[in-house]
Amino acid sequence: MQYLIFRSFRYLLCMAFVLATPWATAGFMGNQIGAEFYAPDLSSPNPSGTTVDPSLFTVVDGVETTVTLFETPTSLVAIGVNFSDTNLTLNLFALFDGAPVPGAVYLHDNPFYGVVFTLVSGDAWDITSFFVTSNVDLLGNFAFTHDAGHLYVNLSDVAFHHNHFLSIDFVFADPVEIPEPTSIALLGLGLLGLAVMRRRMWRG
């Protein structure tokens, strides 16, 4: 009977430890990210007439921020930014008098005209590959690059229509298991329980 109790306790301990051990986040979800618009190059953040609101956000379900490139009382050119755990989607808007602009909108032809996303809080981005899909004319100087803490989206000389989008799917390296203090404490408590049970079994 004591042997069966011992085996049951050991099994429950192992299951609890596995369930309580967190895994490092492989993607963007839960990360705190800063966003800035740069033009005409990477030395010039937030040029006059552009806004990023909010410029600091946490990735959750839904649109995280809006980059306004041009705005007057009658017109608006903007980019809606939507992160998921493994995707970044830019939705492009061009309105005049509240209606979609009928023709194409051409963005400035600069060395860099786009958005830089910076990791503020969260695990470094270990991106192994990415795939771009879009209904935007990317024949201009579009380019996407990244490192462990930045995403660079260069939209220089890109032409688009209202409601066009640009989507980037990411593949991250496999996450690693990271025990937290609570998990370590749980393991220690379980080992102590096993030691006590074994001692009682020997006395019996």
DSSP 9-53: HHHHHHHHHHHHS-B---SSTT-EEEEEEE-SSTT-BS-TT-EEE
| Phi, psi values for residue 73, rounded to 5° | -55, -20
Under 8 Å between Cβ of 157 and 105: no
Report pLDDT for 192.
Answer: 59
Q: Which H or E element spans position 191? A: helix 181-203
Q: Is 77 left (phi over 0), alpha (psi -120 to 50) or beta?
A: beta
Per-residue pLDDT, 26: 74
Backbone angles phi, psi at 188, to 5 degrees: -65, -40
The pLDDT value recorded for residue 137 is 83
**Cβ atoms within 10 Å of 13's Cβ, excluding its own:** 17
- Strand 87-96 relative to strand 165-172: parallel, antiparallel, unpaired? antiparallel
**pLDDT number for residue 47:** 93
β strands within the chain, DSSP E: 32-38, 51-53, 56-58, 65-71, 75-83, 87-96, 99-100, 105-106, 114-121, 127-134, 143-147, 150-154, 159-160, 165-172
- Beta partners for 114? 38, 154
125: closest CA among 152, 153, 148?
148
pLDDT for position 188: 59
Q: What distance in Å separates the CA atoms of residue 127 and residue 193, rounded to the nearest whole number?
A: 42
Burial class (CB in 10 A: 0-12, 13-18, 19+), 138: middle
> What is the mean pLDDT for each group of 10 consecutive residues in the chain (204 residues)?
50 49 71 97 94 97 95 95 97 95 92 97 96 89 95 95 96 70 56 58 58
